[in-house]
Each structure stands twice: as structure tokens, then as C-alpha cells.
């Protein structure tokens, strides 16, 4: 049965380093929740405190309503999938998967049945007698996942499990991990620095920076409405334009930038304190939101630009556009690309509904 997880004001130091800085999170039963951020942001440390591998300096951790803060890892009823797989090289696949059951003294007949079910869930039943060195990286990762699943944990903890796989395998395993978690109704906490991985698998995610949480939300919400420049710059690509507020009303914010006047929907103001006329703000425009139009086109938020670089990649076309001293990116569907060469004169247009005011 899926359980909720609550992290209540958790703090963790390593010497003078504030690795986890008063983090509080509520994770719903059956939710696939991602901890996302750059190296050193505290995401793996937080995961390891949930698993019980690190003691907290203050705060509490609850799994299924039970306070597990002082419990050792084997009493928290969690399954852990490590980045390095951590498979025993001298054991077969089946023996590796059964290891946790043997430690728990599960009867042999029941253990064998549970191992078979776990291997079937990860599509590795036909490799039960293989040794790890006979498997590909993707297959080893499946075995590591089966080993975590076989103990039938209340929640699954995953520490960058796909980072050692090539791009094609990572995409394949993303789908598999989400399928297995949803089929089994598992609550899962997944650590990664890979934004696409998080956006494609997560029900919700938390972006961490310097040990504290910057933003929590559904992938689309965090991507489209980042709360600050750090989140906007970390989750996907973003163009930033500094400016000063010229006018503001219930419907729109008008900002003077080096490009000229830019109008954004007032609903997209993400600052905690509403800006006033004269305030400095930053506009965030995603590259795929930039419309690249033939020179001579006009309209709101339209600016003359020159294509300084162009890259056709089949499914998409990427352009770097120059307007005066400014340079910014645009991404179009490959089949709809407006320009096909550097030096082309174009119009860059920013739809006001897709401009975020930070």
C-alpha cells in the first residue's frame, strides 16, 4: 500500500557545510517525487537521510505516518536503488535479488516466488542465472531495481539510477521505472540532476539549491512558471532580459528592456512582492516560445533581429538571434523553420502569455 512521506524541517551539516537547510516536504501516497538540482545542492544527502544512511542534525522524517528519524535503514521499510548498481559480482541475478530477503530470513519458497515476480516485473526473468558481468548496463540497472522491489518496501528511493546509461537506454528505463512504480502503487523519491529525466517521469518535483528548496510543483508548472531566475535557468533553457517596469495593471506589465518595450501578462508575475512602476525586473522567455518571423512582420513584442547561428537538427531547428548587443535563442519545429541560414534578417516575437516576470 502506498504511503505518504513527510520531511519536517530537516537540517544536516557536514562540518561547517550546511548540506540540507531546513527542508520540509510533503509527498503523497503513490507519488513519484523528484529531488532535482545541480551537484552539491543537497539532493543526495536529503535522500540518504530519508533512507537512514545519514543522521539528521535536527528535524523529523515520517514514512506512512511513522516517525523513522531515529530508526536504522533496515527498519524504515524502504528500497534503495544506487547509481552504481551495487550488485555482488560473484552472485547470480536471482541471488542478488534475493539478498535482502535472505537477510530478513524469508522462507525459501516464498523468497523464490518473490524473486520470480520481481524479475518478471523488470523483464529479467530469462536472465536469472546470469552473473552481473554478463549483463549490459541497462540490464544491471533492472536487476538493481528488482532487488529493491523484492522486499516489498513502503517506498522506493532512487539515487541517480540512470546516470551510467547511454542516452537511448536512459529514455527506455525512464518509462520502465514509471510503469513499475505506478503498477505497484509505490511512493518513490528519485534524485537526479537531469532536467529531462525529471520532467518526463515526475508527478511533482522539488528544485534544490544550496541545501534549501527553491520551488515545488508539477513539472509543467515549474517549467512554465519558475519562481526565480535560478529555477528558470536550471529547468531547461531560458532567455533572460533585464528591464524596468513602465506600467502595470490587472491585465499586463509593460517593461522597458534593451530590446524595447515588452508586454507580459500580469498573471505571469512570479515575484513574491508585486512589482511597482520603476522596479527592476527580469523577463524569462523560453526558446521555444520565441516566434521567428520573416523580416517586415509586425505586432506586439516584435523586434528586428539577425540570425547569428542556425542549426537544423531534424525534429527541431535552433537559432541564435542577435538584436543590438543582445543575443538570445529560438527553437522551432524542424519542419516549420522560418530561416535556414546565418545572417538572415528576421523578426523575433514574444507572445505575452509566455513571458514570465521575475
The domain that holds 154 is classified in CATH as 3.40.50.300
**Is 251 in the same domain as 219?**
no
pLDDT of residue 310: 87
**Is 92 in the same domain as 138?**
yes
The CA distance from 262 to 285, in Å, is 11
Residue 96 has pLDDT above 80, yes or no: yes
Q: Give the mean model confidence (pLDDT) for residues 313-319.
A: 84
Burial of 298 (0-12, 13-18, 19+ CB in 10 A): exposed
Which residue segment(s) compose the domain that 46 sits in? Answer: 5-229
- Residue that is last in its domain, among 165, 199, 229: 229
pLDDT of residue 32: 96
Q: 245: pLDDT confidence band, cut at 50, 70 and 90?
A: very high
pLDDT of residue 201: 92
Asked if 256 contacts 247 with a C-beta cutoff of 8 angstroms, the reply is no
Residue 1 has pLDDT above 80, yes or no: no
User: Between 179 and 253, where is the model more confident?
Assistant: 253
pLDDT of residue 334: 66
Lowest mean pLDDT among 86-95, 108-117, 140-149, 208-217: 140-149
pLDDT of residue 209: 96
Left (φ > 0), alpha (ψ -120 to 50) or beta: where does 94 sit? alpha
- Residue labelled with grid coordinates 543575443: 327
Average pLDDT of the residues of the chain: 91
The CA distance from 308 to 325, in Å, is 12
**Is 200 in the same domain as 271?**
no
Rg (CA), the chain: 24
H helices present in the chain, as ranges: 43-51, 93-103, 108-121, 137-149, 167-184, 195-201, 219-224, 229-234
CB atoms within 10 A of CB 335: 9
**pLDDT tens readout for residues 150-190:** 888 889 999 988 877 777 778 888 888 898 889 888 899 99
Residue 129 has pLDDT above 80, yes or no: yes
| Phi, psi (rounded to 5 degrees) for 90 | -90, -5
- Residue that is last in its domain, among 208, 229, 250: 229
The CA distance from 10 to 66, in Å, is 16
Residue 42 has pLDDT above 70, yes or no: yes
Q: Which of 17, 34, 36 shows the shortest CA–CA distance to 209?
A: 36
**Is 206 in the same domain as 250?**
no
Residue 81 has pLDDT above 90, yes or no: no
Residue 335 has pLDDT above 80, yes or no: no
**pLDDT tens readout for residues 210-237:** 999 999 999 999 999 999 999 999 998 9
- Residue that is last in its domain, among 212, 229, 246: 229
H or E segment to which residue 67 belongs: strand 66-67
**Is 172 in the same domain as 248?**
no
Q: How many domains does the chain have?
A: 2
pLDDT of residue 49: 96
Residue 339 has pLDDT above 80, yes or no: no
Q: Which of 177, 90, 175, 69 shows the shortest CA–CA distance to 132?
A: 90
**Is 39 in the same domain as 104?**
yes
**pLDDT tens readout for residues 264-293:** 999 999 988 889 999 999 999 999 999 998
**Is 163 in the same domain as 250?**
no
Q: Give the mean model confidence (pLDDT) for residues 341-356.
A: 90
The CA distance from 275 to 249, in Å, is 11
Q: 123: pLDDT confidence band, cut at 50, 70 and 90?
A: confident
Amino acid at each position: 500500500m502506498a504511503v505518504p512521506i513527510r520531511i519536517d524541517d530537516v537540517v544536516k551539516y557536514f562540518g561547517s557545510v550546511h548540506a540540507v537547510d531546513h527542508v520540509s516536504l510533503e509527498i503523497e501516497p503513490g507519488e513519484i517525487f523528484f529531488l532535482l538540482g545541480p551537484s552539491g545542492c543537497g539532493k543526495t544527502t536529503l535522500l540518504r537521510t530519508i533512507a537512514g544512511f545519514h543522521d539528521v542534525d535536527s528535524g523529523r522524517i515520517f514514512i506512512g505516518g511513522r516517525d523513522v528519524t531515529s530508526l536504522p535503514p533496515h527498519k524504515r521499510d524502504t528500497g534503495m536503488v544506487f547509481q552504481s548498481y551495487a550488485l555482488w559480482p560473484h552472485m547470480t541475478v536471482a541471488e542478488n535479488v534475493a539478498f535482502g530477503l535472505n537477510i530478513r530470513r524469508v522462507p525459501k519458497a516464498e523468497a523464490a516466488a518473490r524473486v520470480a515476480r520481481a524479475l518478471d516485473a523488470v523483464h529479467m526473468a530469462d536472465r536469472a542465472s546470469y552473473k552481473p558481468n554478463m549483463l549490459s548496463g541497462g540490464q544491471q540497472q533492472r536487476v538493481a531495481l528488482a532487488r529493491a522491489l523484492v522486499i516489498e518496501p513502503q517506498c522506493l528511493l532512487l539515487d541517480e539510477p540512470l546516470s551510467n546509461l547511454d542516452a537511448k537506454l536512459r529514455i527506455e528505463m525512464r518509462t520502465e521505472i514509471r510503469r513499475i512504480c505506478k503498477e505497484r502503487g509505490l511512493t518513490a523519491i528519485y534524485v537526479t540532476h537531469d532536467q529531462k529525466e525529471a520532467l518526463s517521469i515526475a508527478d511533482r518535483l522539488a528544485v534544490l539549491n544550496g541545501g534549501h528548496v527553491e520551488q515545488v510543483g508539477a513539472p509543467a508548472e515549474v517549467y512554465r512558471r519558475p519562481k526565480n531566475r535560478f529555477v528558470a535557468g536550471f529547468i531547461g533553457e531560458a532567455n533572460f532580459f533585464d528591464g524596468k517596469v513602465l506600467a502595470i495593471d490587472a491585465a499586463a506589465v509593460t517593461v522597458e528592456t534593451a530590446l524595447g518595450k515588452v508586454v507580459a501578462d500580469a498573471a505571469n508575475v512570479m515575484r513574491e512582492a508585486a512589482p511597482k512602476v520603476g522596479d527592476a525586473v527580469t523577463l524569462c522567455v523560453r526558446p521555444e516560445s520565441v516566434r521567428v518571423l520573416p523580416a517586415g512582420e509586425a505586432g506586439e513584442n516584435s523586434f528586428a533581429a539577425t540570425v547569428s547561428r542556425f542549426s537544423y537538427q531534424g525534429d527541431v531547428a535552433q537559432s541564435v538571434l542577435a538584436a543590438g548587443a543582445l543575443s538570445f535563442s529560438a527553437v522551432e519545429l524542424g519542419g516549420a523553420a522560418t530561416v535556414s541560414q546565418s545572417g538572415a534578417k528576421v523578426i523575433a516575437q514574444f507572445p505575452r502569455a509566455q513571458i514570465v516576470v521575475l
